[in-house]
Amino acid sequence: MANPIVGHDAVRSQLRNAITSARMPHAWILHGQQGIGKSLLAQEMAQEFLCTARNGDGQPCAQCHSCRMMLADTHPDFRALAREEGKRDIPVHAIRTLLAFLILSGNESERRAVIINDADHLNKAAANALLKGLEEPTSGCLLILVVHDLQRLPATVRSRAVLQRCHALNDRDMRTVLTQMNFDATLLGLALQAGQGRPGRIVCLQPAKDAKLLHQWQQATEHLEEIDIGQIQQLLASKWPIELLQLAIELLLERLYHLIPALPVATAEQVLQLAWELAEMPKRIAHQKLAPDMALLGLLIALRKQLRHAPNAAIANPHNGD
């Protein structure tokens, strides 16, 4: 962890209190929105658990042999697992390998720690294998599941671990994180708006040229019923990394979802269908089934047509009925 964790003070305090208590739960589920820092929290929790010289307030000392190995990612009593890039789920053999590791005696102490990132993407067999490990915990072990969508995790797994909800960062903490990330000061406003308390969501805004491209996109699509097709074509002619394109589409979808309730029923149904197609677009582009410029342009033209027929008051005041 190159920079200290920012925010999540209440959660971190609760985790430290649990680690220093005599009855430390063996399994935890950190859940909340993607990009808010749950994996970093899990890493810090594992380091605290394995630290041999914790500070008086329970924080890891960062100086002992165990902490130095954790920071260098070489600790023999720690493992971290995540879904492989391009894969839909975590397979059962990966979970069985982790559980076998937990059974072994520790190299540095009697403690071992494991983090499973993307745990809401366990396939059925993997979830069943994990459940057995949760039901028969090994002494001195800590298992941390990092989950974005808690409901995707089987109830049987959820019931055998401590559930710890994590929240998005406030603006003050977001500004601190953005400073750590060396964000261009002129783009802080855009980063705060796009990030919405989720630093991981806006990593794609570096380098600055990508942030500026998103800023131009936000301006060009501010009034969907009046978008300039020529301007959109020019923007889409630029090279868009898939993560940046996904963020641009997510921000567009968020505006649409706020707008839909104020639209006439027939128009809302059409816009909702177009929104669904937009949501699926990054996945189809990533699998090279879609040319991003023409497909996205076509959807924006269709959205403009639908919204031009909507009452002006509905578009100008989407929250009027809240």
Note whether residue 295 is domain-resident.
Answer: yes
Mean pLDDT across the stretch 254-260?
A: 90
Same domain flag for 103 and 182: no
Cβ-based neighbour number of residue 174 at 10 Å? 22
| Number of separate domains in the chain | 3
Note whether residue 64 is domain-resident.
Answer: yes
Note whether residue 1 is domain-resident.
Answer: no
Specify the pairing of strand 112-116 against strand 141-147. Answer: parallel
Nearest to 212 by CA among 236, 245, 242, 190: 190
- What is the predicted pLDDT for the residue at 209? 87
Note whether residue 310 is domain-resident.
Answer: yes
pTM score of the predicted model? 0.83
Same domain flag for 82 and 148: yes
Long-range contacts of 218-222 (CB under 8 A, 24+ apart): 218/190, 218/251, 221/252, 221/300
Q: Which residue has the higher pLDDT, 167 or 238?
A: 167
What are 200's two structure tokens? Answer: 């991981």
Q: Contact at 8 Å (CB) between 204 and 241? A: yes
Looking at the predicted structure, is the pLDDT value of residue 287 above 80? no
Same domain flag for 45 and 90: yes
Looking at the predicted structure, is the pLDDT value of residue 320 above 50? no
Same domain flag for 18 and 161: yes
Strands (E) in 34-156, as ranges, are: 78-81, 112-116, 141-147
Same domain flag for 29 and 149: yes
**CATH of residue 35:** 3.40.50.300
Residue 291: helix, strand or coil by DSSP?
coil
Same domain flag for 37 and 143: yes
Q: Contact at 8 Å (CB) between 144 and 46? A: yes
Same domain flag for 83 and 117: yes
- Give the integer Cα–Cα distance in Å for 91 and 79: 16
Same domain flag for 13 and 143: yes
Looking at the predicted structure, is the pLDDT value of residue 106 above 60? yes
- Give the integer Cα–Cα distance in Å for 270 and 267: 5
Q: Over the stretch 46-62, which tens digit does the pLDDT of each residue have?
A: 999 999 898 877 788 88
Q: Which residue has the higher pLDDT, 1 or 242?
A: 242
Domain boundary among 106, 138, 165: 165
Nearest to 188 by CA among 239, 241, 244, 177: 177
Question: CA torsion angle for 150, 153, 157, 162 (degrees, to 10)?
Answer: -20
Same domain flag for 28 and 142: yes
Same domain flag for 224 and 260: yes
306-315 b/e with 16+ CB inside 10 Å = b? Answer: bbeebeeebb
Same domain flag for 106 and 195: no
Note whether residue 4 is domain-resident.
Answer: no
Note whether residue 154 is domain-resident.
Answer: yes
- What is the predicted pLDDT for the residue at 288? 66
- Determine phi and psi for 90, rounding to 5 degrees: -95, 125
Residue 201: helix, strand or coil by DSSP?
helix
Strands (E) in the chain, as ranges, are: 27-31, 78-81, 112-116, 141-147, 162-165
- What is the predicted pLDDT for the residue at 1? 47
Note whether residue 3 is domain-resident.
Answer: no
Looking at the predicted structure, is the pLDDT value of residue 182 above 80? yes
- What is the predicted pLDDT for the residue at 312? 62
> Average pLDDT, whole number, for the chain?
88
Domain ranges, residue 218:
209-316
Domain boundary among 134, 165, 196: 165
Mean pLDDT across the stretch 201-227?
A: 89
Note whether residue 76 is domain-resident.
Answer: yes
Q: How far is CA 302 from the centre of its chain?
A: 30
Same domain flag for 137 and 21: yes
Q: Contact at 8 Å (CB) between 250 and 205? A: no
